[in-house]
Amino acid sequence: MSSAKDHDTAPGPRILNRLPEIRLKRGVAAAALAREAGVSRQTVYAMEAGDYVPNTAVALRLARALNVTVEELFHLDAGPPEAPRTAKADLVDCGNRFPGSPVALCRVGNRLVGVPVAPAPLCLAPADGLLANAARSTVQLLGGGSDETRLLVAGCDPSTSVLARRMARAGVGLVVAPVNSSKALDLLRRGMVHVAGTHLGAARAGAAKAAGAGVETIAFAGWEEGLVVARGNPLGIRAVEDLARPAVKLANRERGSGSRQLLDGRIKQAGIAAQTLAGYADAPSTGHLPAAWRVHAGLADCCVATRCAARAFGLDFVPLVEERYDLVIRREHLHLAAVERFLDTLSEAAFRRELESLCGYDTRETGRRVE
């Protein structure tokens, strides 16, 4: 270190110090420290204020007197932090998210796609970046990025976390866009996801035509969808007609979801006006699990969701329909190693057993290519 007299006046990084903090922590008076360092008390105060930079000998004596290293006393100012790295990304359902919302990122073809991630009740979900400006489709990148092979799957199946855990063992990270079947197929058509999950039935054929380049449809699992009610079914809800009772409040799903289409079709058959149902016009739940959670939390008396969602919260279930949940993949992505591992995972007996026991799914057709 140089003295104040011969200190280089050229612009450079400032030398910062922790001298006052460490001296007070050690209980050493300024006068005593000055004697140990061979300088005046005023010089000690000048160093502490940052007005004087000691030479090497003084710095070493100060460190010895305070029983610390020179580096603990003095360090170079790192200067202003580097501007955060940002990137353009196609964002999925980020329009109402605030800046700083965490997002997961996945490359689909030559596009970087950002998907909002939500915290679980007891932990924060891992994220690759923060939403910078939704209107400008920009995200702030966290860290140096990931070299992990990734696959972007859109859909509403509550068991996606089970699949993600299996895929991780195969070295593939699963990024999930939690959207309804209609939205998932639209994202597939636009080339923004690798895989779209759907239980819309006839819409699967439409997806193949809309995708242009063609798609493959893979059977995932059979599930039951119906009325999710509180444990013990205290209101005695047995059919869609019971939703018309004034005491029953519904947690509705968003437009475009298979659950909403099922509900609308059943109440139309029953001759019930939708707007007469308590909760029908309220802000919808965007997913089977969020809808079931509202029943679990006492915010609603009933919702239409899968038996899997009801089981997750220990709720009762009144079945309405059995249907198959399919996975639609663009043919241009079938050659990707991540997609091949994805399809291999679907055929694993251990994965099927987990779906059966944990979710109550019928896996007899899982992995079969649908004509």
- Other beta carbons within 10 angstroms of residue 45's beta carbon come to 15
Instruction: Please give the distance of CA 337 from its chain centroid, rounded to a whole number.
Output: 24
Is the pLDDT assigned to residue 170 strictly greater than 70? yes
* Nearest-angstrom CA–CA distance, 3 and 55: 5
What are the tens digits of pLDDT across the range 180-216?
A: 999 999 999 999 999 999 987 655 555 555 554 588 9
* Nearest-angstrom CA–CA distance, 112 and 187: 13
What are the tens digits of pLDDT across the range 52-77?
A: 889 999 999 999 999 999 888 888 87
What are the tens digits of pLDDT across the range 19-49?
A: 988 988 888 898 999 999 999 999 998 888 8
User: In sequence order, what are the residues at sequence separation of 6 or more whose Cβ sits closer than 8 angstroms to the Cβ of residue 27?
Assistant: none
What are the tens digits of pLDDT across the range 114-140?
A: 998 877 766 777 888 999 988 889 999
pLDDT value of position 201: 65
Degrees to nearest 5, angle at CA 227 with 223 and 232 = 110
pLDDT value of position 5: 45
Tokens 């991780």, located at residue: 168
The whole-number average pLDDT for the span 207-234 is 84
- Other beta carbons within 10 angstroms of residue 174's beta carbon come to 24
Tokens of 213: 């380049």
pTM of the model: 0.74
* Nearest-angstrom CA–CA distance, 129 and 292: 29
**Position 327 confidence tier, pLDDT thresholds 50, 70, 90:** very high
